[in-house]
Amino acid sequence: MHELSLISSVVESVTESLEKYPGARVVEVRLKVGALASVIEDSLQFCYGIAIDGTPLAGSRLVVTVLPVTVHCAACEKVGAIESLQNFRCPHCGEPASDVRQGRELEIDSIEIEEAEKGLKSEEQ
Amino acid sequence: MTTRIVELRQGILKKNDELARGLRDRFEAAGVLVLNLVSSPGTGKTAFLERTLRQLREQGSRVAALVGDLETDNDARRLAASGAPVRQINTHGICHLEAEMVSRHLEDWEGVELGGLDYLFIENVGNLVCPSSYDLGEKVRVALLSVTEGEDKPLKYPTLFNSADAAVLTKIDIAEAVGFEREAALRNIRAIRPDIRIFETSAKTGLGMNPWLDYLAEEKAARRA
């Protein structure tokens, strides 16, 4: 339900990061989304298509990588991916596990851009 | 043309998260325990909160509440009956509260100083999905579930129930009449968050309110330590 506001933040952040690369064209925006972040990829894609219109991101692709939920087990001290979002248990020893180590991410990982050879500004500038 | 990969590695909700961190520091410094109440529409958040505010006031605690809604200030008016200062946050269509809204409504809240409060309750917009992503700077997140909603709701909304520190079952006075399967509900909540604290309450009869109030006092004491 809030995918549009998430995507709007993505467009805003990516647009800001482009200030260092004048004239660059965005090819791809890569997100990392935890399986427990309650966002739906189809919905992100749909909103992306709408939100990038008329922005420097127009024409770019959105790639979403879903990160599995991992928990740290207090009993056996291992970290592992849970088998089901409906059952928070250690995959190694089967004990209930509440300590989530991965799976809530909502992150812009990287962007791929295309720059003209001339007038290239380095990242440091 | 050259292709370049630019690593950003930043949270999509970076702005909200930064604001929430700032709020959490302020709440901590002021010594106020802040709770974020999340549930579906109709679970009985407002009735539960009104009773909580009233009983805390009777104990001599200093309490206040911010209440989020899409439109109207009906809930704020209902809560004000408890005698506690209450302020409405109208989100105008946004389906969740954000840290910025909390911050803005704390700024010019006449007669309310964070330092003068023991407890501040934030009643989120009725929604089990979106509020889970937005940190409001709270210390305790509470997920509420009424006995009329179906025992498998925690399984359907694992994000919220997993991120909650406490779960409150509401309307338990009518549990029998609606055929509520208590064991299944408790099992499902714990499947999503094994170490969660669960409270079974009725805002109407007051049943189960004391363990809840004790928990609040414990959390408040824990934060002071």
pLDDT digits (tens, 9 = 90+) for A23-48: 999 999 999 999 999 899 999 999 99
Nearest 5°: phi and psi at B67? -130, 125
| Tokens found for residue B23 | 């709020």
**CA A55 – CA A96 distance, rounded (Å):** 46
Confirm or reject contact between A5 and chain B (CB < 8 A): yes
Other beta carbons less than 10 A from residue B158's beta carbon: 25
- Residue pair B131/B96 in contact (Cβ under 8 Å)? The answer is yes
pLDDT at residue number A122? 53
CB contact under 8 A, B9 and A110: yes
The interface predicted TM-score of the complex, written ipTM, equals 0.85
Residues belonging to chain A: 125
- Chain A residue numbers touching B95 (CB-CB < 8 A): 1-2
Nearest 5°: phi and psi at B146? -95, 160
What is the per-residue pLDDT across B83-114, written as a single tens digit (0 to 9) for each? 999 999 999 988 899 999 999 999 999 999 99
* pTM recorded for the entire structure: 0.92
CB contact under 8 A, B4 and A112: yes
Beta sheet of A79-81, edge-to-edge order:
A79-81, A70-72, A99-102
CB-nearest partner of B194 from A24, A88, A112: A88
**CA B88 – CA B79 distance, rounded (Å):** 10
- In chain B, the percentage of residues whose pLDDT exceeds 90 is 92
Confirm or reject contact between A72 and chain B (CB < 8 A): no
- Residue pair B194/A88 in contact (Cβ under 8 Å)? The answer is yes
- Residue pair B111/B77 in contact (Cβ under 8 Å)? The answer is no
CB-nearest partner of A116 from B1, B9, B155: B1
pLDDT of B160 over the 80 cut: yes
CB-nearest partner of B159 from A37, A115, A117: A37
Residues with pLDDT less than 70, chain A: 1, 118-125
pLDDT at residue number A117? 72
- In chain B, the percentage of residues whose pLDDT exceeds 70 is 99
**CA B135 – CA B209 distance, rounded (Å):** 26
- Chain B residue numbers touching A36 (CB-CB < 8 A): 158-159, 162
Other beta carbons less than 10 A from residue B106's beta carbon: 19
Alpha helix segments (H runs only) across A3-125: 3-17, 41-51
The identity of residue A46, as a single letter, is F
Question: What mean pLDDT value characterizes chain A?
Answer: 92
CB contact under 8 A, B8 and A37: no
